[in-house]
Chain A
Amino acid sequence: MFQVRIHGRGGQGAVTTAELLAVAAFTEDKYAQAFPSFGSERMGAPVMSFCRIDDKPIRTREPVTEPDVLIIQDPTLLHQADLFAGLTGDGYLLINSAHTFAKLGLGEVAARHHRGRLLVVPATQLALTHLGRPLPGTALLGGFAALTGVISLDSVTRAIGERFTGNVAEGNVAAARAAFDFVQDERKALSDA
């Protein structure tokens, strides 16, 4: 079982991101479960959402405490207590930011982790460019596909196509593709280095 925890702020689409990830996994005939952290929904409040992906039916319903992937939708959450709770050295970490780990003050976290599994993606900028709105979720899913290989970029774009139509769908697909390419380039640069 592959487990994902997404941290964001109310209104940024953390729940939609988890649901799109589940649909993307479903299109690959995998079992998936996505659910929010069930707080009172308020714009700007810290929120969490979860997604599990497996080849067999998923029965457990507890929150994801030991994520294989942590996605941080909002870099202003980075210094919140327990944000990285349960993430092991082999886990994947994807942060929405235009800055480096060092500049984000995460040098220590980066040192503890498998370097090839930690990436920063300027998802909000990509969303603004391609979608015209600061909603980083679909760009992060494109980055997720490139970083983990657990689902393909095609599945992400199919999930987007099921949820949205017209310009909104196109913008989200373009943001996901751009982030996918960005992460692939970053990984290549890391492995070349």
Chain B
Amino acid sequence: MLRQIEGSQAVAAAVAMCRPEVICAYPITPQTHIVEALGAKVKKGELNAEFLNVESEFAAMSVAIGASAAGARAYTATASQGLLYMSEAVYNAAGLGLPIVMTVANRAIGAPINIWNDHSDAMSQRDAGWIQLYAETSQEALDLHIQAFKIAEELANPVMVCMDGFLLTHASERADIPAQDQVDRFLPPYVPRQMLDPADPVSIGAMVGPEAFTEVRYLAQARMQQALEVIPSAAAGFSMAFGRSSGGLVRPYLTGDAEIIVVALGSVLGTVKDTVDELRAEGMRIGVLGITTFRPFPVLAVREALGTDSRLRRIVVLERALAPGTDGIVTADIRMALAASDGRPPRAPDALVSTVVAGLGGRAITRKSLRAMLADTVSGRLGPLTFLDLDTSLVSRELDRMRAARRSGPSAENMLRDLGITASRVS
């Protein structure tokens, strides 16, 4: 049924229809609306699940691990510092092969403290062994959750569904909410591969020494390789069952004859596509590659999408996170995909790869700024690493202060004061 609905409510509706048996929740902006809505459904009796208010995010993931190990379909959601706080348990969930599904309502990580959107939180857990899917719209966020349970349970591997905090969680847009029986047909009841059962006792989580640790880890890699087949197959099955396309590995848009391809993840893809349409109308040969599956990184799919035309000259990777000291998190993977890692000749060998860090801590990514950046790309002025819309004078003033005095004070507060925004100052 079509509804005009807030992204968080759409996701809560989808998760509820997946019939999770245990939901553990600890509130953190901008994820809170999702678990609030699920809590209300449990309280009203619309959803038969154990809803646990836990004391921290570490407990949320630990409870999800326990529930999943006991054979229950388990779900939780978090963001930002909450994801970091549960990080140890995030690794354990993947290491144990437990098919937990978690929403990450993407938000920046401090310091400085910031409640707004970027991808720093999920990117910090990219090597935890979880599958990471990024939603472009509320509809896709809804759809990806239904696919996530299927993928997780088929592989016995946890899945993180990443949706941009505020931009998707708090936006009201049109979404097609499926019927319960449609979801039931797509997602059969959970049959655990391993289960704590008093009638048939086993240990889960034993210490493994050098004799088998590598082999257990090898299986984690093998599961990720298998995921590269399971994820497109879940997307195809979803398309058949629900009549719309969402999920999968990558989403090329007008890449066929492109001389410039912008690579991006998440909700910014909409704004990028609008910009690309405008530039196409002006004669620029430009396309977009959306990365839906970031972990496992779909090397071959990315190579195919980026390398179909020898006219490709520039690849611009839009990164909503910063890994200080590198030239970009997604960029590194794009370079890996372009290199001849599978023995075949490199794709688009002459294409220059540039990183554009954009939308950090909630800064809006606008068509105007994207157009200016892409004009620089065409004219060859775009450097290897660019911070979109960087206020260089604000940075310069702080650098001047740091040069002028050893005790220049806290940079964040100094810069807020420059902008006329009150920062705490004693006396």
Contact = CB atoms under 8 A, between A and B. Distances in A.
Are A and B co-members of a single complex?
yes
Interface stretch (B211-219, B221-229, B267-275, B333-341): B267-275
Contacts of A34: 171-173
Interface string A18-49: 11001101100001111110101000000000
Given A59-B270, A59-B273, A61-B171, A36 B115 contact: no
A65 interface: yes
Contacts of B268: 61
B166 interface: yes
Contact of B173 (A32, A36, A38, A63): A32
Contact of B4 (A22, A36, A38, A62): A22
A60 interface: yes
Interface string B324-368: 000000000000000000000000000000000000001011110
B271 A59 contact: yes
A35 B170 contact: yes
A77 interface: no
29 contacts: A19-B6, A22-B4, A22-B173, A25-B4, A26-B4, A32-B172, A32-B173, A33-B171, A34-B172, A34-B173, A35-B167, A35-B171, A36-B166, A36-B170, A38-B116, A38-B117, A40-B115, A58-B270, A59-B269, A59-B274, A60-B270, A60-B274, A61-B267, A61-B268, A61-B270, A61-B271, A62-B271, A62-B365, A62-B366
A33 B365 contact: no
Nearest to A35: B171
Given A32-B174, A61-B271, 12 more contacts: A18-B172, A32-B173, A33-B173, A35-B166, A35-B172, A36-B170, A59-B271, A60-B274, A62-B271, A62-B365, A62-B366, A62-B367
Contacts of A38: 116-117, 166, 170, 362
Interface in B161-180: 166-167, 170-174
Of the candidates A31, A32, A61, the one having the most CB atoms from chain B within 10 angstroms of its own CB is: A61
Interface in B239-290: 267-271, 273-274
Interface in A47-69: 57-63, 65
Given A19-B6, A35-B167, A36-B166, A63 B364 contact: yes
5 closest A-B pairs by beta carbon, nearest first, are A59-B270, A26-B4, A35-B171, A34-B172, A38-B166
Contacts of B170: 35-36, 38
A18 B171 CA distance: 10
Nearest to B173: A33
A33 B271 contact: no
A32 B4 contact: yes
Nearest to B266: A61
B173 A60 contact: no
Interface in B97-143: 115-117
A59 B370 CA distance: 15
Contacts of B2: 26
Contact of B172 (A33, A61, A62): A33
Of the candidates A60, A62, A63, the one having the most CB atoms from chain B within 10 angstroms of its own CB is: A62
Contacts of A25: 4
A137 to B, nearest CB: 14
B33 to A, nearest CB: 12
Contacts of A58: 173, 270
Interface in B144-158: none
A45 to B, nearest CB: 12
A65 B172 CA distance: 19
A192 to B, nearest CB: 38
A61 B363 CA distance: 12
B397 to A, nearest CB: 21
A117 B274 CA distance: 29
Nearest to A32: B4
A61 B172 CA distance: 11
Contacts of B166: 35-36, 38
A23 B362 contact: no
A23 B269 CA distance: 24
Contacts of B367: 60, 62
A61 B365 CA distance: 8
A57 B267 CA distance: 14
Contacts of B3: 26
B136 to A, nearest CB: 9
A60 B271 contact: yes
A32 B2 CA distance: 12
A29 to B, nearest CB: 9
B371 to A, nearest CB: 12
B172 A22 contact: yes
A23 B172 contact: yes
Interface in B1-27: 2-4, 6
Interface in A150-177: none
A34 B362 CA distance: 17
A130 B398 CA distance: 53
B289 to A, nearest CB: 16
Nearest to A18: B172
Nearest to A33: B173
A14 B174 CA distance: 20
Contacts of A60: 270-271, 274, 367
A46 to B, nearest CB: 13
B138 to A, nearest CB: 9
B173 A62 contact: no
A63 B359 CA distance: 13
B172 A19 contact: yes
A130 to B, nearest CB: 25
Contacts of B271: 59-62
